[in-house]
Amino acid sequence: MSKIGKINISIPEKVKVVLNDSSVNIEGPLGKKSLNIDLKTFELNIKDGKEISIKPKTIDENTKRLWGMNRSLLNNAIIGTSKGYEKTLELIGVGYRATLKGKQLNLQLGFSHDINYNIPENIKITVEKQTIIKINGIDKQLVGTVAAKIKTFRPPEPYKGKGIKEVGQYILRKEGKKK
């Protein structure tokens, strides 16, 4: 049995959940999102527009694996349309800075050239103090993917800690050369 799949999902007041053929449409104050859920293997129950429960029709190894994942995807979509998701990145290093130029994020990371990153749709990026980048969106996966892509431009190095890291991320530091 899935421990996560058993838990009911509560729906906030401002969010509407509509079940169509094989897709679930979720509409909230921040936007709309639709998920495809296989209704041949899973049964969705919406109780008074306040709770959703998902249960498999037959329990076998395959449905056990997918049960908790489908519940988490539904929960993430509901949270995303009501509150949204945010990741904060920090640039550490002398001369490292970020600026917004229209639909592009311009990064100066100590290379001989600037890096221009095209911001995908449904993602909002704000730059504070030139060294702090905030990534907002309703899709948890897309926000994480964008943050991971930006971090790959200059990952933090273990000696001085220079690079792009998430706020609160721990960097394993190494000791330098000894005399």
pLDDT tens, residue by residue, 101-113: 888 989 898 889 9
Please say if the pLDDT value at position 60 is more than 90: no
Coil/strand/helix, residue 47: strand
- Which pLDDT tens digit goes with each residue over 133-150? 999 998 899 999 999 999
> According to the model, what pLDDT value does residue 2 have?
66
> According to the model, what pLDDT value does residue 109 have?
87
Report the C-alpha dihedral over residues 140, 124, 86, 172, rounded to 10 degrees: 100
Of residues 94 and 5, more confidently modeled:
94
- For the beta sheet containing 132-137, the strands, ordered from the edge strand earlier in sequence to the opposite edge, are 123-128, 132-137, 85-92, 163-166
Question: Burial, 60: exposed, middle or buried (Cβ in 10 Å; 0-12, 13-18, 19+)?
Answer: exposed
Closest CA to 120 of 107, 105, 99: 105
Helices (H), the chain: 61-82, 140-152
> According to the model, what pLDDT value does residue 58 have?
84
> According to the model, what pLDDT value does residue 1 have?
58
Please say if the pLDDT value at position 67 is more than 90: no
> According to the model, what pLDDT value does residue 88 have?
93
Q: What percent of the chain stands above pLDDT 90?
A: 17
Please say if the pLDDT value at position 83 is more than 70: yes
Strands 97-101 and 104-108: antiparallel
Predicted TM-score (pTM) of this structure = 0.82
